[in-house]
Chain A
Amino acid sequence: MVWDWLPTYMPLLINGLWITLTLLILSTVIGMIFAVPLALVQALQSPYLATPARAFCTFIRGTPLLVQLWLLYFGLGSLFPMIPGIRQSFLWPVLREGYFYALLAFIISVAGYEGEIMRGAFLGVPKGELEAAKAFGMSPWKVFRRIWFPRAFRLALPVLAGETALTLKATPLAATVTVLDLFGVSNKIRQDTYRVYEPLLLVLVAYVVLYFFIVWAFHWYEKRIPQKR
């Protein structure tokens, strides 16, 4: 084991860790924002929107994330330049970046998986509680905001914890589209120094630590919610 490269690459590694974390947090949060309406139209069995929402969730859950990522990066990425004038537009610096496509792919994937989880959670809230809220004269929006969503979110919390941990484990895929996340940096070190195992093992340890931190953080948050069992 040779570790003399470590000081040279430390700034790059910390930057990689930062990119991994922003990918994880942004995709989880934004994905959740899309997941809630996806789940809601399915739970309410909205006549026009339920079927497309279910088809979307099935498609996302039935295909590998790497295929989705490459479909966006190589597929969409090769179609964008055909739009006339796009190279001059302010969007081009964003559309050129692997990071943008990785983030987009992760958001879509998280939305699909969490949409399915939240659908079950919305249906799992006891009907009586929603009826009671309605009987109090709450508007549908207020019922959703005060009763339905918070209850469903707590029901889904253990599964969402697992899902977030899975998202973390999926973030290294971003390195396949030139993003210098934690794993991408380890690839770069391998190419520069020809050391194969040390950088890989180092980032592996970092991912494992992050994994257990996520598990612990969700567990801590779950315990803070008072409930009778």
Chain B
Amino acid sequence: MAQPGFPEILSLGDQGYGDELLRGALVTLQISACAYSIGLVIGLAGAMGKLGSNRIVRWILALYTTIVRASPDLIIILLLYYAGTGLLNSMLTARGYTSVHVSGFAAAVAVLAFMYGAYSTEVLRSAIQAIPVGQIEAAKAVGMNPWLRFRRIIVPAMLPLAIPGMGNLWLNVTKDSSLIAVVGYTELLLATRQAAGNTKQYFMFFLCAAFIYLAITLVSNQAFKRIEARFRRGMPKLG
């Protein structure tokens, strides 16, 4: 069969690989978005735990963030991807349940969320610590309970300080999601590699993937600029 040339090979449908790449990009965005949101929830809980008074919780969280931030992303992903599913199943069978098949998508999201939970913990912790103490004390003084204080004072006051760091985390998670290709789940990079392997057009396909990632980064950058401007309204301009 004759190989289609350069523009046609990226067309949608049976002849080209355009739809495969776009579907891969969509999976990349889905994995990133899920992992990022779960990571932020873990981070918020982790930040409150780290600033809380329970010494054992603080110690565990310090261990968690230190180890995750000090070890190579690829090794964590590999360890958790294999060990995590194995551990889950051996725990299930030990308690008499049948073992489950963890989908690649769920495992990828879980692993990245675990990693980004540690990074978010540090970003959010430093943002919360940058809130003037007086504001939190004032909230206590007017009799707000901890949950109300958290919802009305801590979160709104720390968000403008946390948004730049959160933006960086989002950019990193979209890029780190490419490591999932190594454990064999088809997202953008692995879809690219498969397309490149089928057509032997390695250079062109990887360049295409690079530009898709670049587009994601550039669009996200603009979006986060707007979000930051929105959350910083009423505050002095930066720079």
Binding site for B on A (CB under 8 A): 58-59, 61-68, 70-71, 74-79, 168-173, 176, 183, 196-197, 200-201, 203-204, 207-208, 211-212
Cα(A78)–Cα(B75), bound, Å: 28
The one of B178, B179, B213 in contact with A62, judged by C-beta atoms closer than 8 angstroms, is B213
The one of A58, A75, A168, A208 in contact with B206, judged by C-beta atoms closer than 8 angstroms, is A75
A208 contacts B193, C-beta separation under 8 Å = no
User: What is the minimal beta-carbon distance from B203 to any residue of chain A, in angstroms?
Assistant: 3
Answer whether residue B228 sits at the interface, using C-beta atoms and an 8 A cutoff: no
Residue of B nearest to A62 (CB): B217
> Which among B50-58, B78-86, B129-137, B140-148 touches the partner chain?
B78-86
Cα(A5)–Cα(B209), bound, Å: 40
A183 contacts B75, C-beta separation under 8 Å = yes
Contacts of A61 in B (CB 8 A): 217
A212 contacts B203, C-beta separation under 8 Å = no
User: What is the minimal beta-carbon distance from A188 to any residue of chain B, in angstroms?
Assistant: 14
Contacts of B70 in A (CB 8 A): 207-208, 211-212
Contacts of A171 in B (CB 8 A): 72
The one of B67, B75, B175, B214 in contact with A200, judged by C-beta atoms closer than 8 angstroms, is B75
User: What is the minimal beta-carbon distance from A56 to any residue of chain B, in angstroms?
Assistant: 12
Binding site for A on B (CB under 8 A): 67, 70-76, 78-79, 82-83, 171, 175-176, 178-179, 181-182, 189, 192-193, 196, 200, 202-204, 206-207, 209-210, 213-214, 217-218
Cα(A66)–Cα(B78), bound, Å: 15
Contacts of B196 in A (CB 8 A): 74
Cα(A71)–Cα(B202), bound, Å: 7
Contacts of A58 in B (CB 8 A): 214, 218
Cα(A172)–Cα(B76), bound, Å: 11
User: What is the minimal beta-carbon distance from B15 to any residue of chain A, in angstroms?
Assistant: 22
Assess A207 versus B71: contact at CB under 8 Å? Given A64-B189, A71-B206.
yes
Residue of A nearest to B211 (CB): A63
Assess A78 versus B214: contact at CB under 8 Å? Given A67-B178, A196-B82, A200-B75.
no
Assess A71 versus B79: contact at CB under 8 Å? Given A169-B72, A172-B72, A172-B74.
no
Cα(A168)–Cα(B74), bound, Å: 12
Can you list the 8 inter-chain pairs with the closest CB atoms, starting with the nearest? A75-B203, A62-B217, A71-B206, A64-B178, A74-B202, A64-B175, A62-B214, A211-B70
Contacts of B67 in A (CB 8 A): 208
Contacts of B207 in A (CB 8 A): 71, 75
B189 contacts A211, C-beta separation under 8 Å = no
The one of A62, A68, A170, A208 in contact with B71, judged by C-beta atoms closer than 8 angstroms, is A208
User: What is the minimal beta-carbon distance from B182 to any residue of chain A, in angstroms?
Assistant: 6
Q: List 25 A-B contacts (CB under 8 A).
A: A62-B171, A63-B210, A63-B214, A64-B175, A64-B189, A65-B175, A66-B178, A67-B210, A67-B213, A70-B206, A71-B203, A71-B206, A74-B206, A75-B203, A75-B204, A78-B203, A170-B72, A172-B72, A176-B182, A183-B72, A200-B79, A204-B76, A207-B70, A208-B71, A212-B70
